[in-house]
Structure 1
Amino acid sequence: MDYKAVIKEIRDKKYRPVYFLHGEEPYFIDAISKVIAEEVLDESERDFNQTVVYGKDCDPYQIVSLAKQFPMMSDRQVVIIREAQDIRNWDAFESYFASPQPSTLLVICHKYKKFDSRKKAFKALGKENVTFLSEKVRDYQLTSWITKYVQEIGYGITDKAASLLAEFLGNNLGKIINELDKLSILLEKGTKINDVHIEENIGISKDYNVFELVNAIGELNILKANKIIQYFEQNPKAANIVVIIPNLFTFFQRLMMIHFLANKSPDNVAMNLKVPNFVAKEQIRYSKLFPPKKIAQNISFLREYDLKSKGLGAGNTSQGELLKELVYLLTH
């Protein structure tokens, strides 16, 4: 069951005794627990029937005792354990998970890592409870996830705008959704969000960003690449060499993969590289400018400058100067 299905079930008032939410991606866990906290009980019922505790501070046996209690002047009570990854003694929950109190919704928010499914407590969770694994949206899935999310809230988005958000904000769904929610306040429903909207309202330059720097290098456009680097020097928050180098590594890794694909059609390249079709077309074009031997050399340069960006062998060279050196080496 994905997080939307869990939320739909809650809103349909099909409640479960235990919601065990665990995994690397905090956004989905927060989304489910927020719906439970705000919609299961009326405001008048929450004072006596909704309890929030934190894993670091809670005594598991006391939580089990609380969960076993009956609600006061309500059909149910809600007990939410936030930061449950800090709990050390899970044995205390084993018997409760096997036979939970039907009038209690016990919500366990175990963030940033998968719970050990070998533990007896986890095995005690039956089918009547929800065990939800919140997995990270992988980097190659991010632009399509953004596109789908935007469509769900009643907007459209161009491929370039989705890529800009993914490149600039990284794999942080909370940040991405926060920025998209801001746009939804400013733009009319049905608007197709483009790179100009992103630049004007979120502050990501449509011309001076990591995405455009990679493209400039792919096109062997040294002048454009150096203009972007100069912009980064003047606007340090726009990009950092520690972020830029992994993007360039991914770029050249993809070009190398294209060289060894028998079928170099855009559809096949998009499928193998797990990128949107428009990105695949660009990558095919760039691959013709970089033979495999040069790509291997560039990957070696990137490893060298990754170390320099972290202070190994760079002396007092600034990030801007390191980037200019790197761009020259990558394009010659």
Structure 2
Amino acid sequence: MSIITEMKQLSSETMAPVYFLYGTERYLIEQFLQKASEALFAGEEGEMNDIRLRLQDTPLGEVVEEAETVPFFSSRKLVVIQDFYLATSQKVATKLEHDIPALEAYLDSPAQETVLVVVAPYEKLDERKKITKKLKKQTSAIDVNPFDEKETFAWMEAIAKQEGVAIEQDA
């Protein structure tokens, strides 16, 4: 699905339990995460329930455990795994052991009160890996690679509309 379409439809009621964002456009990834947080939380609810973790610093088992934990003084929770290099062929020097089967099991039965966002900000994914196939098949997978001309116009038009401004295609 297109990130533009997904961000237009983003609301607390329509959010998928798991999103897989892959691609190199970090600005769009940050915009998606901000809109997801705004859709889920009002006021200070997000302070305790908007969890951002880097895969290089946190074992995957702890990430899954955090996603399965009940939200604190809120009905929903946002857990974001940054730099998910396990979906690529990239080698990363880390001493952490990642429990990939725990994530695979979570994808089969995600917690209803948690929105898990897996972010792989890489140009290429390793499509041969089981975890990559499962993420693309069982989640709301969103390609966040650079836009073509048509997508750029649609994105600019959506932002202009959000700001209450009209923009012509010639502009």
TM-score per shorter chain, which class?
0.7 to 0.9
Letter in 2 for 1:111: P
Letter in 2 for 1:50: D
Aligned-partner Cα distance in 1 for 2:13–2:141? 18
Report if aligned partners of 1:26, 1:112 keep a CA contact under 8 Å in 2.
no
Report if aligned partners of 2:3, 2:143 keep a CA contact under 8 Å in 1.
no
Aligned-partner Cα distance in 2 for 1:86–1:30? 20
Report if aligned partners of 2:20, 2:118 keep a CA contact under 8 Å in 1.
yes
Unaligned runs of 5+ in 1: 156-183, 196-332
Report if aligned partners of 2:80, 2:118 keep a CA contact under 8 Å in 1.
yes
Aligned-partner Cα distance in 2 for 1:117–1:90? 19
Structure label with greater radius of gyration: 1
Aligned-partner Cα distance in 2 for 1:55–1:20? 14
Q: Give the 5 Å matches for 1:213-292.
A: none
Structure number with the higher helix fraction is 1
Match of residue 272 from structure 1: none
Match of residue 30 from structure 2: 30
Deviation of 1:194 after TM superposition, in Å, equals 9.4
Alignment coverage as a number of residue pairs? 160
Where relative contact order (Cα < 8 A, 6+ residues apart) is larger, the structure is 2
SS in 2 for 1:80: strand
SS in 2 for 1:79: strand
Deviation of 1:61 after TM superposition, in Å, equals 0.8
Unaligned runs of 5+ in 2: 93-97
Pair 1:61-2:61 in alignment: yes
Deviation of 1:121 after TM superposition, in Å, equals 2.2
Match of residue 95 from structure 2: none
Match of residue 52 from structure 2: 52
Match of residue 72 from structure 1: 72
Deviation of 1:32 after TM superposition, in Å, equals 1.6
Runs (4+) off by over 6 Å: 191-195
Structure number with the higher strand fraction is 2
Deviation of 1:33 after TM superposition, in Å, equals 1.6
The TM-score with structure 1 as length reference comes to 0.41
Deviation of 1:190 after TM superposition, in Å, equals 4.6
Letter in 1 for 2:2: D
Deviation of 1:57 after TM superposition, in Å, equals 1.3
Deviation of 1:135 after TM superposition, in Å, equals 2.6
Aligned-partner Cα distance in 2 for 1:2–1:191? 21
Match of residue 9 from structure 1: 9
Cα 1:149–1:102 change in 2 (3 A) is closer
Deviation of 1:22 after TM superposition, in Å, equals 0.8
The TM-score with structure 2 as length reference comes to 0.74
Report the identity percentage: 25
Deviation of 1:134 after TM superposition, in Å, equals 2.0
Match of residue 110 from structure 2: 100
Deviation of 1:125 after TM superposition, in Å, equals 4.1
Cα 1:24–1:66 change in 2 (3 A) is same
